Amino acid sequence: MKNLPLIQPVASVSQGHSVLTSISFVILIQKEPDKNKIKPIILKPKFDPSKKPYPNNDKEEQIIIKGCEEEKSIDCLYSEINSFIKENINPKTKNKLKGKRFYLEISISDKGDFVGDDLKCSLEDYQKYFKKMFSKLSIKEPAKINGNNTKMTYSIPIEM
C-alpha cells in the first residue's frame, strides 16, 4: 500500500535498560467512492511528538567516551565509536567487511565498564572479535538517568 505513514519503534529506558516502546496510533483506510482506490485517514496522536523522549520524561545523559568529553551528544558517541572501530580493526578484517553495513549492540554498566557478555553483532561471525575490541574502549563516565548512574545499551550502525 502506498502513501501510508512509516511507523518506527521508539527507544526508551526502563529500569536502567534500553527498551523499545510503542506509541498508540490508529491508521484507518477508506475506499474512495466510485474508485477502486483506498486512501489512508491519518489521526494525529494526543501527545506532541516533537517533545523527547516520547513516553519517558526522565533526563538521560549518554555515556562519555574519549573524544566526547566536551560535546556529550549521541551523535558524538556514534561518530567516536565508528572511529574507534576503524582505528582498531585489523587490515584483514577491514577488507572482509569493506562496503558492509552492520549493527553492534553494546552495554555499559552503571560503573562505566563495558559489559562484554551483552555485546551483539548483526554479523554473528564477528561477535567475539568485536567483544575483544570493545574491551579496550575508554569510557570516561557511565550513562545517567535523573543524575543516577545506570546501565545503558546502545544499538550502533557501523558502515565500513
Mean pLDDT (whole number) for 12-40: 54
pLDDT in tens, 124-146: 899 999 999 999 998 999 988 88
Percent of the chain with pLDDT over 90: 22
Which letter, b or e, does each residue of 135-144 get, where b requires 16 or more Cβ atoms within 10 Å of its Cβ?
Answer: eebebebbbb
The contacts of residue 46 (CB under 8 Å, 6+ apart) are: none
Average pLDDT taken over every residue of the chain: 76
For residue 158, the tally of other CB atoms under 10 A from its CB is 20
pLDDT at 1: 45
Q: What is the pLDDT of residues 78-113, one digit of tens each?
A: 889 889 998 999 999 999 999 888 888 889 999 999
Measured CA to CA in angstroms, residue 82 lies from 1, 25, 43, 142 at distances of 36, 35, 39, 19
Q: CATH says 60-159 is which class?
A: alpha beta
Residue 61: the pLDDT is 84
Cα-Cα end-to-end distance for the chain: 33
> Under a CB-based contact definition with an 8 Å cutoff, are residues 22 and 9 in contact?
yes
Residue 89: predicted pLDDT: 93
Residue 100: all three cell numbers together: 558492509
- Domain ranges, ordered by start, for the chain: 1-57, 60-159
Is 8's pLDDT higher than 70? Answer: no
Tell me the three cell numbers of residue 115: 559489559
Within 2-151, where are the H helices? Answer: 74-88, 91-97, 127-134
**Tens digits of per-residue pLDDT, 38-61?**
665 555 555 555 554 444 556 788
